[in-house]
Structure 1
Amino acid sequence: MTSQIHPALRFGVNYTPRSGWFHAWLDLDLDEVRRDFEAIAGLEADHVRLFPLWHLVQPNRGLLRPAALADIGEVVDAAAEFDLDVNVDALQGHLSSFDFLPAWVTTWHERNIFTDPVALAGEEAYLRALGEALRGRPNVMGLTLGNEVNQFAARPHPHPHPIDEAQAEEWLVRLLGVARESAPGLITHAAYDATWYDERQPFLPRHAAEQGDETVVHSWVFNGAAQRYGGLGAGSVRHGEYLVQLAAAWHALADRPVWLQEVGAPVTVVDRDDAADFLEQTVRRAADVPVLSGITWWCSHDVARSMLDFPPVEYDLGLIDEDGVVKPTGRRFAELARELRGAPRPAPSPVALVLDDTRPHRAECAPGGAFFEAWVRAAERDGRGPQVVLASRQADDALLAARGIERMERVDAGAGATAAPVLGGGAAATMP
């Protein structure tokens, strides 16, 4: 069987327009877009992730604005002028603490975006129209349903659209199917890390690992990792690597790719002088996982200080500042992209930690949790981060062999890990 993993890592950025942030879609200036893309190409990026705002494209359920769809196509074409591929997110949704739901699903027209038949019909219409706008453009990498749409499904969102696990899966299957029928390239969906860490979240790890063409993870160390371990501590600079390994545990196929679609250096929890080192260590560690398909850094440009009411963390995440000057993080990103894009792909770690998925476990996987702590200790001990095996799959000899796992370690809360070799034969491979 041919591996799904492309031999060359992708390196890209999430495109945040230098002028006007994502409100730039209101009065698109293609000259400014080209200026931004030229700077991004100078960072050795090979792709950008694009965020048209849902409520501007579809302000009424029956109105998909031709001018807005044309704008998206023109931005994709502008990226091609600089040899940049483009992934387009659809249901925006949510960006940098702001929600952009269209008026036809809010207040007087309040509808659950995951279950209401009227809302679903509107979402399907949008995906079809967006897919039509993207077809025939050779630099389209693919389409993602939306940015961290799972944050609408549960607390801590202040006005959630509550659903259960079955409804989450039904929504994904339905809309990914429409996207696959309509749009070219990779069809994916993106969740923030509550999927992996929070039992309240109805979008589950298996949904991330089974739905869509690649598994997508977003890594942010302001989730408690940097506060607990320090900005350059192992629990911070290895957080992206850990999420990639954790996600792969749910894969039925050993060679299903994982895309690190968002990762950034938040200077609210990482010292500004350490940001470039944080970036380098994060990228190098993540690139050491053979199933990684690409790294898309958040984000291209800083949010201008003239833009008000953003959380403080959002203003300094760019690789390029608001005046167009490449920051130390941008220079380091470019160096790493040049070095690692064509480097030989690593062999898998032969060691795996067993995660007990037969009971609620997501809090244990979060920074500070017993499983996370055990993984970090093992990574520091061995130099490489271990793989993760689900307890429900630890007797699947064929899958273990395909993943290159030779030794498994069981995690006991507060007691470190105990090891056993993978001997072959289901019973023989279980933990003592």
Structure 2
Amino acid sequence: MRFGVNYTPRVGWFHSWLDLDLDDVRRDFEQIAGLGLDHVRIFPLWDLIQPNRGLIRPAGLAAVADMVDAAGEAGLDVNVDALQGHLSSFDFLPAWLTTWHERNMFTDPEALAGQESYVRALGEVLRGKPNLLGLTLGNEVNQFAARPHPRPHEIDAPQAQAWLERLLGAAREVTDGIVTHAAYDATWYDERQPFVPQHAAELGDETVVHSWVFNGAAQRHGGLGTGSVRHAEYLVQLAAAWHTDAQRPVWLQEVGVPTTVVDPDDAVSFLEQTVRNAADVPGLSGITWWCSHDVSRSMLDFPPVEYDLGLIDEHGRVKPTGHTFAELARELRDAPAPAPSATGLVLDDSAPYRASCAPGGSFFDAWMHAADRDGRGPQVVLQSRVDDSVLLDERGVARIERPAGGPDASTETVGDDSALLGGAAATLST
């Protein structure tokens, strides 16, 4: 299992791409490697590297390659995000997609051609790097496709799939390592979202999940409640429900301690419980913590949650969470693979189901009830696949349970549909 961090440069945040100082980067990477972590995920700003649809700056591409090389010097592998249009509540779409040139980034033929050329150029400059872990299309690009984004590039599910297939295909042709795409949790929780679970579970080389408990989980369950410290574990299990290949890995690519909803004094406990619970799910390929370094307080206009997410503070001091994550990485990296939970909790996917899966929804509550009862979370089995005995056997599901209140509720039931409150996915993720 991989253990790493999403790299947030200590000096200048991601604006440091404007005048990249590799000495600063090397110092940051040496600290990260010193914690015993094995990889970083980096975020070149798309609008700086491709400021015009016809201009992909060679110096910008070279800066990305230099950062990958600097990570290699420290013994770190690197995953590179490409279409970096969104980070920590700020959008970085290039000007050729906005205002007077506004066009749908997912469907406009010229916009698609521009994105494809950028992905190919980035893959080419990284080809052959021995420490390249892979390429992700971008950070939570699905947030541009629907509300609550204030100016969504609206599409439907087939259009989302076509966009993914085209750009993932382009990336795979030029990229060494794994090719993935990343979505925030509206994919799993919000019916408005055109990027759907099947896209996450069937396209790309691994299924990627981002776990943030400011989505209603911590507000409802408390910072150290079951619904919070098992949220990442739950998302990993929920994602795996859509796999047709029982061996397909899930990557917990973002997870962090938002101290706006988790008491700062509980941050270490939240981290330890979250990591241990998630690591107990078979098929988890890695945990990439958000994030490496705190955002400096000199940087203005960030939401409060963003300033305290680092494992290392803005002055370069390792925080208690950093020491704890390092200890867990050393302990769990080579631990024996966990056995799968023998229980499969059935999710009715025959009708709109995503609000039920969100914090406050009936399926979410049923899963958490079962986790409390059994000490670990059950697997999730789609109603449409409940008779696929071969797949269930490959997954190690020996016993099927149905949430209470459903039409075929079993005698061994969990949850309570009377508590159905709907989804809570209206807050943009990091």
TM-score tier (shorter): over 0.9
Letter aligned with residue 84 of structure 2: Q
SS at match of 2:410: strand
Q: Identity over the aligned pairs, expressed in percent?
A: 77
1:226–1:233 Cα contact (<8 Å) kept: yes
Q: Which residue of 1 aligns with 2:160?
A: 168
1:143–1:185 Cα contact (<8 Å) kept: yes
Q: What TM-score, normalized to structure 2?
A: 0.95
Q: Which residue of 2 aligns with 1:208?
A: 200
* Unaligned 5+ runs, structure 1: 1-8, 422-432
Q: Which residue of 2 aligns with 1:50?
A: 42
TM-fit CA distance, 1:420: 7.1
Query: Are positions 1:405 and 2:394 aligned together?
Result: no
TM-fit CA distance, 1:183: 1.2
Q: 2:376 aligns with which of 384, 393, 403?
A: 384
Number of equivalences: 413
SS at match of 1:169: helix
TM-fit CA distance, 1:414: 8.6
Q: Which residue of 1 aligns with 2:263?
A: 271
Query: Are positions 1:105 and 2:70 aligned together?
Result: no
Q: Which residue of 1 aligns with 2:62?
A: 70
Q: Which residue of 1 aligns with 2:332?
A: 340
SS at match of 1:411: coil
TM-fit CA distance, 1:97: 0.3
SS at match of 2:402: strand
TM-fit CA distance, 1:182: 1.3
1:141–1:185 Cα contact (<8 Å) kept: yes
TM-fit CA distance, 1:246: 0.1
Q: 2:307 aligns with which of 311, 315, 318?
A: 315
TM-fit CA distance, 1:418: 2.8
Provide the C-alpha distance between the structure 1 equivalents of 2:142 and 2:408, rounded to a whole number of angstroms.
32
Q: CA RMSD in A?
A: 1.3
Provide the C-alpha distance between the structure 2 equivalents of 1:84 and 1:416, rounded to a whole number of angstroms.
50
Q: Which residue of 2 aligns with 1:30?
A: 22
Provide the C-alpha distance between the structure 1 equivalents of 2:360 and 2:84, rounded to a whole number of angstroms.
31
TM-fit CA distance, 1:413: 4.4
Query: Are positions 1:368 and 2:355 aligned together?
Result: no
Provide the C-alpha distance between the structure 2 equivalents of 1:374 and 1:215, rounded to a whole number of angstroms.
24
Question: Deviation digits for residues 233-260 of structure 1, max 9, x if unmatched?
Answer: 0000000000000000000010100000
1:374–1:416 Cα contact (<8 Å) kept: no
Q: Which residue of 1 aligns with 2:428?
A: none
Query: Are positions 1:154 and 2:166 aligned together?
Result: no
Q: Which residue of 1 aligns with 2:420?
A: none
Provide the C-alpha distance between the structure 1 equivalents of 2:23 and 2:203, rounded to a whole number of angstroms.
37
Taking structure 1 as reference, are residues 280 and 181 closer, same or farther at Cα in structure 2, changes over 3 Å only?
same
Letter aligned with residue 51 of structure 1: F
Within-5 A mapping of 1:180-195: 180-195=172-187
Moved over 3 A (4+): 412-417
Provide the C-alpha distance between the structure 1 equivalents of 2:272 and 2:81, rounded to a whole number of angstroms.
27
Query: Are positions 1:14 and 2:6 aligned together?
Result: yes
Letter aligned with residue 335 of structure 1: E
Q: Which residue of 2 aligns with 1:228?
A: 220
Letter aligned with residue 25 of structure 1: W
Provide the C-alpha distance between the structure 1 equivalents of 2:194 and 2:47, rounded to a whole number of angstroms.
25
SS at match of 1:345: coil
* Unaligned 5+ runs, structure 2: 414-430
Query: Are positions 1:81 and 2:73 aligned together?
Result: yes
Q: Which residue of 2 aligns with 1:424?
A: none
Letter aligned with residue 100 of structure 2: W
Taking structure 1 as reference, are residues 415 and 372 closer, same or farther at Cα in structure 2, changes over 3 Å only?
farther
TM-fit CA distance, 1:82: 1.0
SS at match of 2:315: coil
1:407–1:419 Cα contact (<8 Å) kept: no
Q: Which residue of 2 aligns with 1:118?
A: 110
Provide the C-alpha distance between the structure 2 equivalents of 1:379 and 1:74, rounded to a whole number of angstroms.
45
